[in-house]
Structure 1
């Protein structure tokens, strides 16, 4: 289904007909699912939690980008904030936990698999690309994307121009995956649990500060919502305050829950006199993968 009145702001009675099938987004999600499934069929070592996390990550992307959430984000800042949180706090960590790179490569055409080592060598020669594997730059990029895209000029430009809006979403997702990879990614990529807690604390504080500024602002930041919120029973400033509250409370809860899980893993590892235990989700993933490899021998 498509938006009922193309070119007009979304009205409440059109909400449930506001699904859309953007060819690029829908095609990309389907292609990723097909390639991943092909990769799984050649190697079952990725069984356990990883495929579920990858699938749920794709579902989160579909909800954020193809469902009425996307259309509603064009008329309400609060809905746009929900879309941002789906990208950064649901889809990004799920994709980071799933670590789909190897499975996607196995499912890719032979030409892509043959060319991949050459591309990887070229990327390794690029100092800037190598730096993205470190937690500091990954954290800074994600925080920078969060603040930059919520500045008035860029935010309004994203509302007005679909290409800039797509770039905004791609930036949130890419920097989000980079950040969450260092915190809850596979064992070889993630940082020690103690450092992960610090990174999450810094991210939570940055997000909380931005949300407080949005929530307690005395005037609207975004001109793009000046005439679109009334049909939904909100004035632009109240809508912005609601967006700030959505960023503040649900996002803060996710950061706190993951940080507590890492902290508990860190404490258990310290009490046992061993290296810090893996985060709960990725620990289960690693265990399931190990059991699968054992059964396959």
Structure 2
């Protein structure tokens, strides 16, 4: 029976690699992806076919190494290789169309989302791992090759789904920060199981006769495997920090871009206002700003853009360019504004605004500047 399973594993590896590399030739794969996929399959082959599988019957530590290779080495390597993408492209066009039609069915998509949800894969993988280490289940696998194959398959599949959610599924539902939590959570519960095996007062599995062998097996699950999870978690944490930094830089760049755009729009808008003010009054706004200072208008009024013009004796002149009336009753037209600037007493003798004997040119320039205040 073992020979049959060895042949099946070998055939599955050959078929999978053939289909995968056909797909790689049809698409543009990242260099590391086919390398990772091939390394993953070689790890499976080393774990399940040959001396390691034979020794696993008599040495618990070797058996534990076999399981760890399947779950924390082969599974993530194969996931990194993106086998579903390249395997799909390895099919003929008609077969690929049929597979796509099936996988895009709502029921299939819903099922896939359910079984690859991060919480689901964490819990399912943990249940599978702990359940198979219950003595009667583990012993059953040791004495029945079919059950043993099912055990290995469940270890690998649930681990692959876990690593897929962490590595490939993070952009949809699992961010780097959450991925770090799930990796460390898995490291924690596997380390606890390893520690229980290591510190146990008796043998868990009668088929293995040495307590030292059980302790070594527990140590393998506890320390080396835990270290791999910690390294993966730290790598994800570093990626999380890098992504946060990139987002911050992108946000800063976006803010800067928006600021520049705002400034450009503001300058364009100001340019339009200046051109409009010149057209309405025949004056020059910049000269008007200087004239306002020269005539001391800022001693009574607050006038935006004019240094020192922050007085509150008279009304503020901000947005005077869009007001309907001047002095409360005079319709705001260029002619009326220039007349009010030059001779306010002739319009309203009771006004507190004195005649400053403003020249016609200065009146036009001052009016031009005031019309830019909108």
Q: TM-score range by the shorter chain?
A: 0.7 to 0.9
Describe the shift of the 1:176–1:240 C-alpha distance in structure 2 as closer, same or farther (beyond 3 A).
Answer: same
Cα pair 2:141 2:151 within 8 Å, conserved = yes
Cα pair 2:116 2:162 within 8 Å, conserved = no
Counterpart Cα distance in 1 of 2:232 and 2:55:
29
Counterpart Cα distance in 2 of 1:174 and 1:243:
22
Q: Which moved more, 1:182-191 or 1:65-74?
A: 182-191
Q: 1:41 aligns with which of 25, 32, 48?
A: 25
Cα pair 1:158 1:168 within 8 Å, conserved = yes
The number of residue pairs the alignment matches comes to 250
Aligned-residue Cα RMSD (Å) equals: 2.4
Give the aligned partner of residue 163 of structure 1: 146
Counterpart Cα distance in 2 of 1:31 and 1:56:
15
Name structure 2 gaps, 5 residues minimum. 251-374
1:99 CA displacement = 1.0
1:133 CA displacement = 2.1
Q: Does 1:74 align with 2:48?
A: no
Q: 1:153 aligns with which of 127, 136, 141?
A: 136
1:108 CA displacement = 2.3
Q: Does 1:106 align with 2:89?
A: yes
Per-residue CA distance 1:122-179 (angstroms, 9 max, x = gap):
5735754431121000111111111011110110011011111111111111111110
1:218 CA displacement = 0.7
Give the aligned partner of residue 266 of structure 1: 240
1:274 CA displacement = 4.0
Q: Which moved more, 1:115-124 or 1:46-55?
A: 115-124
Cα pair 1:215 1:243 within 8 Å, conserved = yes
1:1-297 equivalences in 2 (<5 Å): 22-43=6-27, 45-110=28-93, 112-122=95-105, 124-125=107-108, 127-185=110-168, 188=171, 191-226=174-209, 235=210, 237-274=211-248
| Large movers: runs of 4+ above 6 Å | none
Cα pair 2:170 2:176 within 8 Å, conserved = no
Counterpart Cα distance in 2 of 1:160 and 1:111:
44
TM-score for the superposition, normalised by structure 2: 0.62
Bigger RCO of structures 1 and 2 (CA < 8 A, at least 6 apart) = 1
Cα pair 2:20 2:83 within 8 Å, conserved = yes
Cα pair 1:269 1:275 within 8 Å, conserved = no
TM-score for the superposition, normalised by structure 1: 0.78
Counterpart Cα distance in 1 of 2:222 and 2:248:
36
Counterpart Cα distance in 2 of 1:197 and 1:246:
22
Q: Over alpha carbons, which structure has the higher Rg?
A: 2
Q: Which moved more, 1:156-165 or 1:21-30?
A: 21-30
Cα pair 1:64 1:86 within 8 Å, conserved = yes
